[in-house]
Chain A
Amino acid sequence: RKEVEQDPGPFNVPEGATVAFNCTYSNSASQSFFWYRQDCRKEPKLLMSVYSSGNEDGRFTAQLNRASQYISLLIRDSKLSDSATYLCVVNRGSTLGRLYFGRGTQLTVWP
Chain B
Amino acid sequence: EPEVTQTPSHQVTQMGQEVILRCVPISNHLYFYWYRQILGQKVEFLVSFYNNEISEKSEIFDDQFSVERPDGSNFTLKIRSTKLEDSAMYFCASRQGASETQYFGPGTRLLVL
Residues of chain A having any CB pair with chain B under 8 Å? 32, 34, 41-46, 49, 87, 91, 94, 96-104
Question: B41 is contacted by which of A97, A100, A103 (Cβ under 8 Å)?
Answer: A103
Q: Considering the complex, which residues of chain B in the window 68-101 have a beta carbon less than 8 Å from any beta carbon of chain A? A: 89, 91, 95, 100-101
Assess A101 versus B43: contact at CB under 8 Å? Given A44-B104, A49-B101.
yes
* Alpha-carbon distance between A87 and B89 when the two chains are bound, in angstroms: 16
Do A43 and B107 touch (CB < 8 A)?
Answer: yes
Q: Which residue of A lies closest to B45 (CB)?
A: A98
Q: Which of B42, B55, B91 contacts A43 (CB 8 A)?
A: B91
Q: Is the CB of B33 within 8 A of A97?
A: yes
Tell me how far the C-beta of A9 lies from the nearest C-beta in chain B, rounded to whole angstroms. Answer: 14
CA distance A91 to B35 in the complex (A): 14
- Name which residue of chain B comes closest to A103, CB basis: B42
Q: Note all chain A residues with C-beta closer than 8 A to B91.
A: 43-44
Residues of B within 8 A of A94 (CB): 56
Q: A43-B107, A44-B91 are in contact. Are A97 and B43 (CB under 8 A)?
A: no
Which residues in window 21-47 of B have CB below 8 A to A? Answer: 31, 33, 35, 41-45
Chain B residues, CB < 8 A from A49: 100-101
**A96–B50 touching, CB < 8 Å:** yes
Question: Do B89 and A99 have beta carbons less than 8 Å apart?
Answer: no
**Within the assembled complex, what's the spacing in Å between the Cα atoms of A100 and B46?**
11
Known: A96-B50, A98-B56. A45 touches B42 (CB 8 A): no
